[in-house]
Structure 1
Amino acid sequence: MSDVDFSKLRRALVIKLRHHGDVLLSSPVLSVLKAAAPGCEVDALVYADTAPMLAGHPALSALHVIDRAWKRLGPLAQARAELGLLRALRARNYDLVIHLTEHRRGAWLARLLGPCWSVAPRQKGRGRFWRGSFSHFYSQPGNALRHTVERNLDALRVLGLHPEPAARRLTMVPGAEAGARVDALLRDAGLAAGGFIHLHPASRWLFKCWPAESMAALADALHQRGHALVLSAAPDPRERELVAAIRARSQAPLVDFSGQLSLRELAALTARARLFVGVDSAPMHIAAAVGTPAVALFGPSGDKEWGPWMTPHRVVASALHPCRPCGLDGCGGGKVSDCLVTLPVARVLAACEELLTS
């Protein structure tokens, strides 16, 4: 049994210094902790660019950020920014710090903030400094069948909290402003909420992406069945190039919002879609967080660890490549994944139809 008395917690800090999808997959930790300690103010610390994934979370009291751009300000300005963050965190006087990654900053913060309790993943080879920085450790076995959400929640289980399944849902709040802008964009495009399928074909990791000709063929097939289609992508030039290639190969009238949406606006768009179709990426997790049925295409990454969480979904992955999930950045590290290149359009279309008719 843990010695943590949740009824007496005043303030807790959850640290998640990773990419957008990873941060969103930590959102149930905030919900479960707040439910167990209603009188506790739950804060989070994330990178500034990932803050929209947790902004507006109903369990969150304060959202602190580390801006990766601080490194470009020069040593003195960076030191001032870091000191300002530390002062803001120390002013909160945390009773509990939950560190959800192996980032060494978490160990320093656990020591500098002086909470009564602190928890982090057990790390081999980290030595006495890491081991002496935290009061509790949770195991992180290399189990490809365990979802990342459950791994995050293990940080609470080691403290004695065992959440019910319904409490483990993802949470992302688009907000009224994002919703209003998306409603205006849809209205201008002649679309209504629930009247379109959302296609997000890209990822920052292009080896996770389905070929443009395959996504174009899927778009044509869905259009022929009477579905309106909306495309989205990040402003990144490589993602925009993929979308341009899809549009060049498709005969469907695609509404293209690529590069036009913030993360919260993307969430508002997905929340209004009848179906989301995409690859293993943060937008797929956003679909799960807003409760939109999702068809997720998986190649080298593991769908058991990273698949859509607690929303109606279909995972489509190659049955011809027993080597997947390999975790490589394309076959042989060549940035092209055969297990995605050979994924049949017919299988993805069938998955879409199953969810559309269920």
Structure 2
Amino acid sequence: MLNDAVDFSQVKTVLVIKLRHFGDTLLTSPVFSVLKAHHPHIEIDALVYEETRTMLTLHPAISHIFGIQRSHSHANTLQQLKTEYNLFKQLKARRYDLIIHLTEHTRGLWLTRLLKPRYSVSYHFPGFSPRRKKFWKKTFTHITPHGSPQRHVVEKHLDTLRRMGLYPNRSERALSLVAGDAAEQRIDALLAQHGLEKQTYIHVHPTSRWLFKCWSPEKFSALINQLHKAGYTVVMSAAPDATEKAFVKAIQQQLKQPVIDVSGQLTLKEMAVLTQRAQCFIGMDSVPMHIAAAMNTPVVVLFGPSGDLEWGPWQVASKVITLAYACRPCGQDGCGGGKISECLTDISVNIVFDAVQSLLEKPRL
């Protein structure tokens, strides 16, 4: 038993800080669920980048979501100071008893020092210098190891709770993403427009914001052609980014029959509903894959330079496709920094197609 376990009966307000990308933010959702399930009296807030707020809005365990800008490059110094001060006042008014800081971002460290909660928890990051490690240890009342690359990010997040004496049940660890009525109505109308019903199509999201995490357009075209030949309907999505649009166009140019293309047309909440209504999801290591897992849609995902054990689909029926290359996962920006990862591009179309067929043969839970 821990000799410094937190007395949660004395905790009324908690702030969870996660300053990262969309997928990273979604993967924090079980922290809120577990904490609320074990201690319903606690009010739990989130501090995230403003752009990632949508990953946590409507979460039933969250009281308030505070957003900050990733960069103040378009703001002058006075505006920046005013924004920061107003945020600090709002956070201070919440009188936090506990702060859970889930990244190595120094912003969370300084907020913890300034807000002075009774309890605070973060990680021991292996890359820290001795000086920074000492400063970190002096700031937080509880420190937990960050964990190895073989440990899933969700479990790493939940390790902060374990370090304080709160042990989550396995049934409590699912991702939580609430799309909302407006998103459901939009997608239901879109499906009706194309004559589609629930679970009568496959959702393919071939892109990632990072090109080195992508399969080739040629192989995606071949896969979709094979899916069409087998009688499946394909709905394809991508972000409105120009690079992703060009990637989708390259796929479309090699198709024997068109897909239903909604690229650049959906919010992330709407994409969540589109995925939820699908038979299965096919994609890369990116936020749409994590969204599919949160919506309990079977997932076929291709992993290359990023680690599937650490970032794979969480608690959902899935087929994770990798090649047993000794150099992966390397985390590099493509082989030799060339934006193309051979551990991905060498994956055959037939392997992916067979994985889809195998997954769809199983009843959806």
Tell me the TM-score normalised to structure 1 length. 0.97
Could you tell me which residue of structure 2 aligns to residue 135 of structure 1?
141
Could you tell me which residue of structure 2 aligns to residue 353 of structure 1?
357
Deviations 1:71-110 (A, max 9, x none): 3111111111111111110110111000000000111111
Matches within 5 A, 1:132-171: 132-141=138-147, 143-171=148-176
Aligned with residue 117 of structure 2, among 109, 115, 118: 115
Per-residue deviation, 1:342: 1.1
Per-residue deviation, 1:69: 5.0
8 Å contact kept, 2:5–2:163: no
% identical equivalent positions: 51
- Let me know the Cα RMSD of the aligned residues: 1.1
Q: How many Å separate the matches in 2 of 1:264 and 1:179?
A: 9
Q: How many Å separate the matches in 2 of 1:341 and 1:70?
A: 37
Aligned with residue 218 of structure 1, among 217, 223, 237: 223
Could you tell me which residue of structure 2 aligns to residue 86 of structure 1?
88
8 Å contact kept, 2:298–2:359: yes
Q: How many Å separate the matches in 2 of 1:127 and 1:338?
A: 37
8 Å contact kept, 2:179–2:270: yes
Q: How many Å separate the matches in 1 of 2:332 and 2:262?
A: 30
Q: How many Å separate the matches in 2 of 1:146 and 1:191?
A: 39
Q: Secondary structure at the match of 1:346?
A: helix
Q: How many Å separate the matches in 1 of 2:18 and 2:240?
A: 24
Tell me, yes or no, if structure 1 residue 31 matches structure 2 residue 33. yes
Could you tell me which residue of structure 2 aligns to residue 60 of structure 1?
62
Aligned with residue 302 of structure 1, among 299, 307, 310: 307
Q: How many Å separate the matches in 1 of 2:156 and 2:119?
A: 19
Per-residue deviation, 1:131: 2.0
Matches within 5 A, 1:188-199: 188-199=193-204
Q: How many Å separate the matches in 2 of 1:72 and 1:129?
A: 31
Per-residue deviation, 1:355: 0.8
Q: How many Å separate the matches in 2 of 1:275 and 1:78?
A: 44
Tell me, yes or no, if structure 1 residue 232 matches structure 2 residue 232. no
Deviations 1:225-244 (A, max 9, x none): 11111000011100111111
Q: Secondary structure at the match of 1:71?
A: coil
Q: How many Å separate the matches in 1 of 2:271 and 2:262?
A: 9
8 Å contact kept, 1:70–1:81: no
Matches within 5 A, 1:175-190: 175-190=180-195
Could you tell me which residue of structure 2 aligns to residue 273 of structure 1?
278
Q: How many Å separate the matches in 1 of 2:156 and 2:341?
A: 27
Per-residue deviation, 1:202: 0.2
Deviations 1:157-194 (A, max 9, x none): 10011111111111111111011111111111111111
Q: How many Å separate the matches in 2 of 1:137 and 1:290?
A: 32
Per-residue deviation, 1:332: 1.2
Alignment size in residue pairs: 356
Q: Secondary structure at the match of 2:253?
A: helix
Could you tell me which residue of structure 1 aligns to residue 340 of structure 2?
336
Deviations 1:219-266 (A, max 9, x none): 111111111110000111001111111111111330001001111111
Q: Secondary structure at the match of 2:109?
A: helix
8 Å contact kept, 2:124–2:133: no
8 Å contact kept, 1:210–1:341: yes
Q: How many Å separate the matches in 2 of 1:127 and 1:311?
A: 36
Tell me, yes or no, if structure 1 residue 105 matches structure 2 residue 110. no
Unaligned runs of 5+ in 2: none
The one-letter code of the counterpart of 1:132 is K
Could you tell me which residue of structure 1 aligns to residue 316 of structure 2?
311
Could you tell me which residue of structure 2 aligns to residue 325 of structure 1?
329
